[in-house]
Structure 1
Protein backbone atom coordinates (compact mmCIF):
# COMPACT_ATOMS: atom_id res chain seq x y z
CA UNK A 1 0.00 0.00 0.00
CA UNK A 2 2.89 2.35 0.76
CA UNK A 3 4.19 1.92 -2.80
CA UNK A 4 0.79 2.77 -4.28
CA UNK A 5 0.39 5.70 -1.91
CA UNK A 6 3.81 7.08 -2.90
CA UNK A 7 3.03 6.68 -6.60
CA UNK A 8 -0.19 8.69 -6.35
CA UNK A 9 1.53 11.42 -4.34
CA UNK A 10 3.28 12.48 -7.52
CA UNK A 11 1.39 10.76 -10.33
CA UNK A 12 2.31 12.44 -13.65
CA UNK A 13 -0.46 14.23 -15.55
CA UNK A 14 0.29 11.98 -18.52
CA UNK A 15 -0.55 8.90 -16.42
CA UNK A 16 -3.86 10.44 -15.31
CA UNK A 17 -4.69 11.18 -18.95
CA UNK A 18 -3.78 7.59 -19.84
CA UNK A 19 -6.29 6.30 -17.27
CA UNK A 20 -9.01 8.39 -18.92
CA UNK A 21 -8.20 7.31 -22.47
CA UNK A 22 -7.65 3.66 -21.56
CA UNK A 23 -10.96 3.50 -19.70
CA UNK A 24 -12.99 4.96 -22.54
CA UNK A 25 -11.23 2.72 -25.08
CA UNK A 26 -11.72 -0.45 -23.03
CA UNK A 27 -15.42 0.09 -22.31
CA UNK A 28 -16.05 1.36 -25.87
CA UNK A 29 -14.75 -1.97 -27.23
CA UNK A 30 -16.59 -3.97 -24.56
CA UNK A 31 -19.87 -2.28 -25.50
CA UNK A 32 -19.47 -3.59 -29.02
CA UNK A 33 -18.92 -7.13 -27.77
CA UNK A 34 -21.65 -7.42 -25.10
CA UNK A 35 -24.15 -4.53 -25.49
CA UNK A 36 -27.04 -4.14 -23.06
CA UNK A 37 -29.13 -2.25 -25.64
CA UNK A 38 -28.75 -2.32 -29.41
CA UNK A 39 -28.92 1.42 -30.02
CA UNK A 40 -29.92 2.61 -33.45
CA UNK A 41 -27.29 5.34 -33.61
CA UNK A 42 -24.00 6.29 -35.18
CA UNK A 43 -21.66 5.76 -32.27
CA UNK A 44 -19.02 8.29 -33.31
CA UNK A 45 -21.62 10.97 -34.04
CA UNK A 46 -23.21 10.37 -30.65
CA UNK A 47 -19.80 10.58 -28.97
CA UNK A 48 -18.81 13.99 -30.36
CA UNK A 49 -20.70 16.25 -27.89
CA UNK A 50 -19.94 13.86 -25.02
CA UNK A 51 -16.20 13.91 -25.77
CA UNK A 52 -16.34 17.70 -26.05
CA UNK A 53 -17.70 17.89 -22.51
CA UNK A 54 -15.09 15.38 -21.38
CA UNK A 55 -12.44 17.74 -22.76
CA UNK A 56 -13.92 20.79 -20.99
CA UNK A 57 -14.05 18.81 -17.74
CA UNK A 58 -10.35 17.98 -18.10
CA UNK A 59 -9.47 21.62 -18.74
CA UNK A 60 -11.44 22.84 -15.72
CA UNK A 61 -10.07 20.18 -13.38
CA UNK A 62 -6.47 20.79 -14.45
CA UNK A 63 -6.93 24.57 -14.26
CA UNK A 64 -8.23 24.37 -10.69
CA UNK A 65 -5.95 21.53 -9.55
CA UNK A 66 -3.71 23.96 -7.66
CA UNK A 67 -6.59 24.53 -5.20
CA UNK A 68 -6.72 20.80 -4.47
CA UNK A 69 -2.95 20.71 -4.01
CA UNK A 70 -2.93 23.70 -1.67
CA UNK A 71 -5.85 22.39 0.40
CA UNK A 72 -4.50 18.83 0.59
CA UNK A 73 -1.08 20.13 1.65
CA UNK A 74 -2.62 22.40 4.30
CA UNK A 75 -4.74 19.68 5.93
CA UNK A 76 -1.74 17.33 5.87
CA UNK A 77 0.66 19.82 7.48
CA UNK A 78 -1.91 20.92 10.07
CA UNK A 79 -3.23 17.43 10.76
CA UNK A 80 -6.73 18.75 10.04
CA UNK A 81 -9.83 16.79 9.05
CA UNK A 82 -11.94 13.82 10.08
CA UNK A 83 -9.54 11.01 9.18
CA UNK A 84 -6.64 12.83 10.85
CA UNK A 85 -8.53 13.17 14.12
CA UNK A 86 -9.18 9.45 14.38
CA UNK A 87 -6.86 7.16 16.36
CA UNK A 88 -3.78 5.96 14.48
CA UNK A 89 -4.65 3.24 11.98
CA UNK A 90 -3.02 1.10 9.27
CA UNK A 91 -2.35 2.92 6.00
CA UNK A 92 -4.80 0.72 4.05
CA UNK A 93 -7.64 1.71 6.40
CA UNK A 94 -6.63 5.40 6.30
CA UNK A 95 -6.73 5.33 2.49
CA UNK A 96 -10.00 3.39 2.36
CA UNK A 97 -11.76 5.84 4.69
CA UNK A 98 -10.38 8.80 2.75
CA UNK A 99 -11.69 7.47 -0.56
CA UNK A 100 -15.01 6.41 0.99
CA UNK A 101 -15.72 9.87 2.42
CA UNK A 102 -14.46 11.70 -0.68
CA UNK A 103 -16.93 9.60 -2.64
CA UNK A 104 -19.66 10.96 -0.38
CA UNK A 105 -18.74 14.64 -0.80
CA UNK A 106 -17.47 14.65 -4.38
CA UNK A 107 -20.06 12.29 -5.87
CA UNK A 108 -23.09 11.41 -3.74
CA UNK A 109 -23.67 14.76 -2.02
CA UNK A 110 -22.88 16.83 -5.12
CA UNK A 111 -25.20 14.67 -7.21
CA UNK A 112 -28.01 14.73 -4.65
CA UNK A 113 -27.90 18.53 -4.36
CA UNK A 114 -27.91 18.93 -8.14
CA UNK A 115 -31.18 17.02 -8.29
CA UNK A 116 -32.82 18.95 -5.44
CA UNK A 117 -31.87 22.55 -6.31
CA UNK A 118 -33.75 23.76 -9.39
CA UNK A 119 -31.01 25.91 -10.90
CA UNK A 120 -28.44 23.13 -10.43
CA UNK A 121 -30.79 20.55 -11.92
CA UNK A 122 -30.91 22.57 -15.15
CA UNK A 123 -27.10 22.45 -15.29
CA UNK A 124 -27.04 18.72 -14.52
CA UNK A 125 -29.75 18.14 -17.13
CA UNK A 126 -27.08 18.03 -19.85
CA UNK A 127 -25.91 14.73 -18.40
CA UNK A 128 -29.42 13.26 -18.19
CA UNK A 129 -30.61 14.32 -21.63
CA UNK A 130 -28.54 11.67 -23.39
CA UNK A 131 -30.97 9.24 -25.05
CA UNK A 132 -28.28 6.62 -25.67
CA UNK A 133 -26.30 6.19 -22.49
CA UNK A 134 -22.89 4.64 -23.08
CA UNK A 135 -19.38 5.03 -21.71
CA UNK A 136 -18.96 8.44 -23.40
CA UNK A 137 -21.92 9.71 -21.36
CA UNK A 138 -19.81 9.36 -18.21
CA UNK A 139 -18.26 12.82 -18.48
CA UNK A 140 -21.05 14.55 -20.37
CA UNK A 141 -21.16 17.45 -17.90
CA UNK A 142 -21.75 21.09 -18.75
CA UNK A 143 -18.68 23.19 -17.85
CA UNK A 144 -20.67 24.85 -15.05
CA UNK A 145 -21.33 21.43 -13.55
CA UNK A 146 -17.64 20.57 -13.73
CA UNK A 147 -16.96 23.61 -11.54
CA UNK A 148 -19.75 22.63 -9.12
CA UNK A 149 -18.43 19.09 -8.80
CA UNK A 150 -14.91 20.39 -8.25
CA UNK A 151 -16.17 22.64 -5.44
CA UNK A 152 -17.78 19.70 -3.64
CA UNK A 153 -14.60 17.63 -3.99
CA UNK A 154 -12.57 20.55 -2.61
CA UNK A 155 -14.95 20.80 0.34
CA UNK A 156 -14.48 17.08 0.92
CA UNK A 157 -10.69 17.35 0.92
CA UNK A 158 -10.91 20.10 3.56
CA UNK A 159 -13.48 18.44 5.83
CA UNK A 160 -12.06 14.92 5.57
CA UNK A 161 -8.41 15.96 5.63
CA UNK A 162 -7.20 13.85 2.71
CA UNK A 163 -3.60 14.20 1.53
CA UNK A 164 -3.04 14.59 -2.21
CA UNK A 165 -2.21 10.90 -2.73
CA UNK A 166 -5.71 9.90 -1.61
CA UNK A 167 -7.25 12.71 -3.68
CA UNK A 168 -5.57 11.42 -6.83
CA UNK A 169 -6.49 7.81 -5.98
CA UNK A 170 -10.10 8.86 -5.53
CA UNK A 171 -10.19 10.82 -8.79
CA UNK A 172 -8.68 7.90 -10.73
CA UNK A 173 -11.14 5.42 -9.24
CA UNK A 174 -14.04 7.81 -9.78
CA UNK A 175 -13.14 8.16 -13.43
CA UNK A 176 -13.00 4.41 -14.07
CA UNK A 177 -16.19 3.74 -12.13
CA UNK A 178 -18.23 6.37 -13.96
CA UNK A 179 -17.07 4.96 -17.31
CA UNK A 180 -17.94 1.45 -16.09
CA UNK A 181 -21.42 2.29 -14.75
CA UNK A 182 -22.43 4.24 -17.86
CA UNK A 183 -21.04 1.70 -20.33
CA UNK A 184 -23.67 -0.02 -22.47
CA UNK A 185 -22.61 -3.47 -21.34
CA UNK A 186 -24.69 -6.46 -20.36
CA UNK A 187 -23.67 -8.44 -17.30
CA UNK A 188 -25.36 -11.27 -15.49
CA UNK A 189 -28.27 -9.75 -13.58
CA UNK A 190 -27.42 -11.81 -10.48
CA UNK A 191 -23.76 -10.75 -10.59
CA UNK A 192 -24.77 -7.12 -11.08
CA UNK A 193 -27.07 -7.33 -8.05
CA UNK A 194 -24.28 -8.90 -6.01
CA UNK A 195 -21.91 -6.07 -6.95
CA UNK A 196 -24.53 -3.47 -6.02
CA UNK A 197 -24.27 -4.44 -2.35
CA UNK A 198 -20.72 -3.06 -2.32
CA UNK A 199 -20.17 -0.79 -5.31
CA UNK A 200 -22.34 1.05 -7.81
CA UNK A 201 -23.02 -1.49 -10.56
CA UNK A 202 -24.00 -0.69 -14.17
CA UNK A 203 -27.64 -1.73 -13.74
CA UNK A 204 -27.90 0.19 -10.48
CA UNK A 205 -26.73 3.42 -12.06
CA UNK A 206 -28.76 3.04 -15.24
CA UNK A 207 -31.93 3.11 -13.13
CA UNK A 208 -30.89 6.68 -12.31
CA UNK A 209 -30.98 7.51 -16.03
CA UNK A 210 -34.61 6.37 -16.47
CA UNK A 211 -36.57 9.26 -17.94
CA UNK A 212 -39.20 9.61 -15.20
CA UNK A 213 -39.42 10.06 -11.46
CA UNK A 214 -39.00 8.57 -8.93
CA UNK A 215 -36.18 6.65 -10.60
CA UNK A 216 -34.37 9.77 -11.84
CA UNK A 217 -34.02 10.80 -8.20
CA UNK A 218 -32.34 7.62 -7.00
CA UNK A 219 -28.98 5.83 -7.02
CA UNK A 220 -26.78 8.92 -6.82
CA UNK A 221 -23.59 7.10 -5.89
CA UNK A 222 -20.50 6.74 -8.04
CA UNK A 223 -18.08 4.28 -6.43
CA UNK A 224 -19.67 2.91 -3.26
CA UNK A 225 -23.35 1.95 -3.03
CA UNK A 226 -23.35 2.36 0.76
CA UNK A 227 -24.42 6.02 0.60
CA UNK A 228 -27.63 5.30 -1.35
CA UNK A 229 -28.46 2.49 1.03
CA UNK A 230 -27.78 4.58 4.17
CA UNK A 231 -29.80 7.59 2.97
CA UNK A 232 -32.67 5.62 1.44
CA UNK A 233 -32.10 6.68 -2.18
CA UNK A 234 -31.43 3.18 -3.50
CA UNK A 235 -34.01 1.85 -5.99
CA UNK A 236 -34.29 -1.16 -8.28
CA UNK A 237 -36.00 -1.27 -11.66
CA UNK A 238 -36.16 -3.80 -14.48
CA UNK A 239 -33.27 -2.86 -16.76
CA UNK A 240 -35.20 -3.97 -19.84
CA UNK A 241 -37.81 -1.29 -19.12
CA UNK A 242 -35.38 1.58 -18.76
CA UNK A 243 -35.89 4.51 -21.12
CA UNK A 244 -33.07 7.04 -21.20
CA UNK A 245 -33.46 10.80 -21.24
CA UNK A 246 -35.77 13.21 -19.41
CA UNK A 247 -39.48 13.24 -20.21
CA UNK A 248 -39.76 17.03 -19.98
CA UNK A 249 -36.94 17.46 -22.54
CA UNK A 250 -37.85 14.77 -25.11
CA UNK A 251 -36.31 16.29 -28.26
CA UNK A 252 -33.49 13.87 -29.13
CA UNK A 253 -32.24 16.07 -31.97
CA UNK A 254 -31.75 19.06 -29.67
CA UNK A 255 -30.33 16.82 -26.96
CA UNK A 256 -27.67 15.65 -29.41
CA UNK A 257 -26.66 19.15 -30.54
CA UNK A 258 -23.61 20.65 -28.84
CA UNK A 259 -24.97 24.16 -29.37
CA UNK A 260 -28.31 23.27 -27.74
CA UNK A 261 -26.63 21.42 -24.87
CA UNK A 262 -24.49 24.43 -24.02
CA UNK A 263 -27.70 26.51 -23.80
CA UNK A 264 -29.69 23.87 -21.91
CA UNK A 265 -29.00 25.13 -18.36
CA UNK A 266 -30.51 28.50 -19.22
CA UNK A 267 -33.93 27.22 -20.28
CA UNK A 268 -36.99 27.22 -18.06
CA UNK A 269 -37.02 24.81 -15.14
CA UNK A 270 -38.74 21.52 -15.90
CA UNK A 271 -38.42 18.55 -13.57
CA UNK A 272 -39.23 14.98 -14.75
CA UNK A 273 -42.74 13.84 -13.93
CA UNK A 274 -43.79 10.87 -11.82
CA UNK A 275 -44.71 7.59 -13.42
Structure 2
Protein backbone atom coordinates (compact mmCIF):
# COMPACT_ATOMS: atom_id res chain seq x y z
CA UNK A 1 0.00 0.00 0.00
CA UNK A 2 2.77 2.39 0.94
CA UNK A 3 4.60 1.62 -2.30
CA UNK A 4 1.46 2.33 -4.35
CA UNK A 5 0.98 5.65 -2.56
CA UNK A 6 4.56 6.69 -3.35
CA UNK A 7 4.10 5.73 -6.99
CA UNK A 8 0.88 7.76 -7.17
CA UNK A 9 2.58 10.81 -5.66
CA UNK A 10 5.46 10.46 -8.12
CA UNK A 11 3.00 10.29 -11.02
CA UNK A 12 1.23 13.45 -9.84
CA UNK A 13 4.56 15.26 -9.47
CA UNK A 14 5.58 14.18 -12.96
CA UNK A 15 2.34 15.57 -14.39
CA UNK A 16 2.80 18.89 -12.61
CA UNK A 17 6.36 19.21 -13.91
CA UNK A 18 5.13 18.32 -17.37
CA UNK A 19 2.51 21.05 -17.25
CA UNK A 20 5.11 23.69 -16.38
CA UNK A 21 7.58 22.34 -18.92
CA UNK A 22 5.30 22.07 -21.92
CA UNK A 23 2.48 24.54 -21.40
CA UNK A 24 4.69 27.52 -22.21
CA UNK A 25 4.13 29.07 -18.78
CA UNK A 26 6.72 31.68 -17.77
CA UNK A 27 7.19 32.82 -14.21
CA UNK A 28 6.44 36.50 -13.73
CA UNK A 29 7.48 38.72 -10.85
CA UNK A 30 5.77 41.66 -9.21
CA UNK A 31 7.03 45.20 -9.83
CA UNK A 32 6.14 47.85 -7.25
CA UNK A 33 6.92 51.57 -7.44
CA UNK A 34 7.90 53.74 -4.49
CA UNK A 35 7.55 57.22 -5.91
CA UNK A 36 8.40 60.76 -4.88
CA UNK A 37 5.17 62.78 -4.57
CA UNK A 38 6.18 65.30 -7.26
CA UNK A 39 7.33 62.78 -9.89
CA UNK A 40 4.60 61.88 -12.37
CA UNK A 41 4.99 58.47 -14.02
CA UNK A 42 3.58 58.65 -17.56
CA UNK A 43 4.02 55.06 -18.72
CA UNK A 44 1.37 52.45 -18.02
CA UNK A 45 3.37 49.72 -16.34
CA UNK A 46 2.31 46.13 -15.90
CA UNK A 47 2.22 44.74 -12.38
CA UNK A 48 4.27 41.66 -13.32
CA UNK A 49 7.15 41.00 -15.72
CA UNK A 50 9.14 37.96 -16.79
CA UNK A 51 12.78 37.70 -15.71
CA UNK A 52 15.01 39.47 -18.24
CA UNK A 53 12.12 41.41 -19.79
CA UNK A 54 13.12 45.00 -20.54
CA UNK A 55 11.08 47.62 -18.71
CA UNK A 56 10.88 51.27 -19.79
CA UNK A 57 9.61 53.82 -17.28
CA UNK A 58 8.64 57.27 -18.54
CA UNK A 59 8.18 60.24 -16.21
CA UNK A 60 7.59 63.95 -16.48
CA UNK A 61 10.65 66.18 -16.16
CA UNK A 62 11.46 67.54 -12.72
CA UNK A 63 12.84 71.04 -13.22
CA UNK A 64 16.14 72.06 -11.62
CA UNK A 65 16.81 68.57 -10.30
CA UNK A 66 18.00 65.13 -11.32
CA UNK A 67 16.22 61.95 -10.37
CA UNK A 68 18.00 58.68 -9.66
CA UNK A 69 16.15 55.38 -9.70
CA UNK A 70 16.95 52.31 -7.61
CA UNK A 71 15.81 48.76 -8.34
CA UNK A 72 15.87 46.69 -5.15
CA UNK A 73 18.36 49.17 -3.74
CA UNK A 74 20.70 49.13 -6.76
CA UNK A 75 20.96 52.26 -8.90
CA UNK A 76 19.94 51.90 -12.54
CA UNK A 77 21.44 55.31 -13.31
CA UNK A 78 20.05 58.68 -14.21
CA UNK A 79 17.42 59.46 -16.78
CA UNK A 80 17.64 59.83 -20.53
CA UNK A 81 16.01 63.08 -21.67
CA UNK A 82 13.89 62.57 -24.78
CA UNK A 83 12.17 65.37 -26.66
CA UNK A 84 8.68 64.56 -27.98
CA UNK A 85 5.90 66.56 -29.62
CA UNK A 86 4.55 67.16 -26.11
CA UNK A 87 7.88 68.42 -24.78
CA UNK A 88 10.60 66.69 -22.78
CA UNK A 89 10.14 63.48 -20.86
CA UNK A 90 12.55 61.30 -18.92
CA UNK A 91 13.06 57.62 -19.69
CA UNK A 92 14.64 54.85 -17.61
CA UNK A 93 15.45 51.30 -18.74
CA UNK A 94 16.21 48.10 -16.84
CA UNK A 95 15.82 44.32 -17.13
CA UNK A 96 13.42 42.69 -14.71
CA UNK A 97 15.24 40.47 -12.18
CA UNK A 98 14.13 36.92 -11.40
CA UNK A 99 12.34 38.01 -8.23
CA UNK A 100 9.84 40.59 -7.05
CA UNK A 101 11.24 44.10 -7.37
CA UNK A 102 10.70 47.58 -5.95
CA UNK A 103 11.48 50.60 -8.12
CA UNK A 104 12.30 53.66 -6.02
CA UNK A 105 12.69 57.24 -7.27
CA UNK A 106 14.91 59.70 -5.42
CA UNK A 107 15.47 63.36 -6.22
CA UNK A 108 19.15 64.28 -6.05
CA UNK A 109 20.86 67.65 -6.30
CA UNK A 110 21.88 69.12 -9.62
CA UNK A 111 19.89 69.37 -12.79
CA UNK A 112 19.96 72.85 -14.22
CA UNK A 113 18.57 74.08 -17.49
CA UNK A 114 17.15 71.55 -19.91
CA UNK A 115 18.99 71.14 -23.21
CA UNK A 116 17.38 72.60 -26.31
CA UNK A 117 15.90 70.26 -28.93
CA UNK A 118 17.68 70.22 -32.28
CA UNK A 119 15.75 69.94 -35.53
CA UNK A 120 17.31 67.44 -37.93
CA UNK A 121 16.72 68.21 -41.61
CA UNK A 122 17.31 64.65 -42.76
CA UNK A 123 18.97 61.38 -41.67
CA UNK A 124 20.66 58.73 -43.79
CA UNK A 125 21.41 55.30 -42.29
CA UNK A 126 24.13 53.62 -44.36
CA UNK A 127 25.63 50.14 -43.97
CA UNK A 128 29.41 50.03 -44.43
CA UNK A 129 32.32 47.89 -43.34
CA UNK A 130 33.44 48.09 -39.74
CA UNK A 131 36.72 48.75 -37.95
CA UNK A 132 37.87 48.21 -34.38
CA UNK A 133 37.79 51.12 -31.94
CA UNK A 134 35.54 53.25 -34.15
CA UNK A 135 32.19 52.62 -32.45
CA UNK A 136 30.41 55.85 -31.44
CA UNK A 137 33.00 57.99 -33.19
CA UNK A 138 31.89 61.02 -35.18
CA UNK A 139 32.92 63.76 -37.58
CA UNK A 140 31.51 67.28 -37.91
CA UNK A 141 31.70 68.09 -41.62
CA UNK A 142 31.11 71.60 -42.96
CA UNK A 143 32.35 71.48 -46.56
CA UNK A 144 32.53 69.30 -49.66
CA UNK A 145 36.31 69.21 -49.28
CA UNK A 146 36.07 67.90 -45.72
CA UNK A 147 33.56 65.23 -46.77
CA UNK A 148 35.72 64.09 -49.68
CA UNK A 149 38.78 64.00 -47.43
CA UNK A 150 36.95 61.80 -44.92
CA UNK A 151 35.77 59.43 -47.64
CA UNK A 152 39.24 59.15 -49.15
CA UNK A 153 41.08 58.58 -45.86
CA UNK A 154 38.55 55.98 -44.65
CA UNK A 155 37.65 54.13 -47.84
CA UNK A 156 39.91 51.17 -47.01
CA UNK A 157 39.05 51.12 -43.29
CA UNK A 158 35.28 50.93 -43.86
CA UNK A 159 35.32 49.39 -47.36
CA UNK A 160 33.59 52.47 -48.73
CA UNK A 161 34.47 51.71 -52.34
CA UNK A 162 31.92 48.88 -52.28
CA UNK A 163 29.32 50.74 -50.21
CA UNK A 164 26.86 51.92 -52.86
CA UNK A 165 24.49 53.45 -50.29
CA UNK A 166 27.36 55.52 -48.87
CA UNK A 167 28.16 57.04 -52.26
CA UNK A 168 24.47 57.67 -52.92
CA UNK A 169 24.29 59.62 -49.66
CA UNK A 170 27.45 61.62 -50.39
CA UNK A 171 26.04 62.70 -53.77
CA UNK A 172 23.43 64.78 -51.94
CA UNK A 173 26.01 67.22 -50.59
CA UNK A 174 27.42 70.07 -52.63
CA UNK A 175 28.54 73.64 -51.99
CA UNK A 176 24.93 74.88 -52.01
CA UNK A 177 24.04 72.44 -49.24
CA UNK A 178 26.94 73.51 -47.03
CA UNK A 179 25.98 77.18 -47.35
CA UNK A 180 23.00 76.47 -45.09
CA UNK A 181 23.66 73.11 -43.43
CA UNK A 182 26.41 70.89 -42.10
CA UNK A 183 26.72 67.16 -41.37
CA UNK A 184 27.29 65.23 -38.18
CA UNK A 185 28.58 61.86 -39.36
CA UNK A 186 28.25 59.14 -36.71
CA UNK A 187 29.97 55.75 -36.91
CA UNK A 188 28.49 52.73 -35.12
CA UNK A 189 29.36 49.06 -35.16
CA UNK A 190 27.18 46.03 -34.48
CA UNK A 191 27.88 42.39 -33.71
CA UNK A 192 25.07 41.29 -36.02
CA UNK A 193 24.26 42.28 -39.58
CA UNK A 194 20.56 42.30 -38.71
CA UNK A 195 20.79 45.09 -36.13
CA UNK A 196 19.85 48.61 -37.18
CA UNK A 197 19.29 52.02 -35.59
CA UNK A 198 16.92 54.92 -35.21
CA UNK A 199 17.79 58.36 -33.85
CA UNK A 200 15.07 59.00 -31.29
CA UNK A 201 16.05 62.48 -30.15
CA UNK A 202 18.69 65.12 -30.61
CA UNK A 203 19.37 68.14 -28.42
CA UNK A 204 22.16 70.57 -27.65
CA UNK A 205 23.57 71.93 -24.43
CA UNK A 206 25.71 74.91 -25.38
CA UNK A 207 28.42 73.42 -27.64
CA UNK A 208 27.61 69.73 -27.10
CA UNK A 209 25.16 67.72 -29.19
CA UNK A 210 23.53 64.68 -27.55
CA UNK A 211 22.01 61.90 -29.65
CA UNK A 212 19.76 59.18 -28.27
CA UNK A 213 20.02 56.29 -30.71
CA UNK A 214 17.81 53.23 -30.43
CA UNK A 215 19.35 49.87 -31.33
CA UNK A 216 16.79 47.75 -33.18
CA UNK A 217 17.47 44.03 -32.75
CA UNK A 218 15.44 41.48 -34.77
CA UNK A 219 14.28 38.18 -33.30
CA UNK A 220 16.71 36.28 -35.53
CA UNK A 221 20.19 37.58 -36.31
CA UNK A 222 23.68 36.48 -37.26
CA UNK A 223 27.21 36.98 -35.93
CA UNK A 224 28.54 39.06 -38.82
CA UNK A 225 30.15 42.34 -37.74
CA UNK A 226 28.48 45.32 -39.38
CA UNK A 227 29.45 48.98 -39.58
CA UNK A 228 27.08 51.92 -39.93
CA UNK A 229 27.53 55.52 -41.02
CA UNK A 230 24.67 57.80 -39.99
CA UNK A 231 24.45 61.17 -41.74
CA UNK A 232 22.59 63.85 -39.76
CA UNK A 233 21.88 67.09 -41.59
CA UNK A 234 21.73 70.11 -39.27
CA UNK A 235 21.19 73.80 -39.85
CA UNK A 236 24.16 76.13 -39.46
CA UNK A 237 22.16 77.71 -36.63
CA UNK A 238 23.81 74.92 -34.60
CA UNK A 239 27.22 75.55 -36.13
CA UNK A 240 28.88 76.23 -32.76
CA UNK A 241 28.58 72.55 -31.82
CA UNK A 242 32.01 70.95 -31.51
CA UNK A 243 31.28 67.86 -29.38
CA UNK A 244 28.88 64.95 -29.87
CA UNK A 245 27.67 62.58 -27.16
CA UNK A 246 26.08 59.36 -28.43
CA UNK A 247 23.82 57.35 -26.12
CA UNK A 248 22.64 53.94 -27.29
CA UNK A 249 19.23 52.74 -26.13
CA UNK A 250 19.02 48.95 -26.30
Query: Structure 2-normalised TM-score?
Result: 0.21
The structure in which a higher percent of residues are helix is: 1
TM-score (ref. length: structure 1): 0.20
Higher relative contact order (CA 8 A, sep 6+): 1
Report the structure, 1 or 2, having the larger strand content.
2
Structure number with bigger Rg: 2
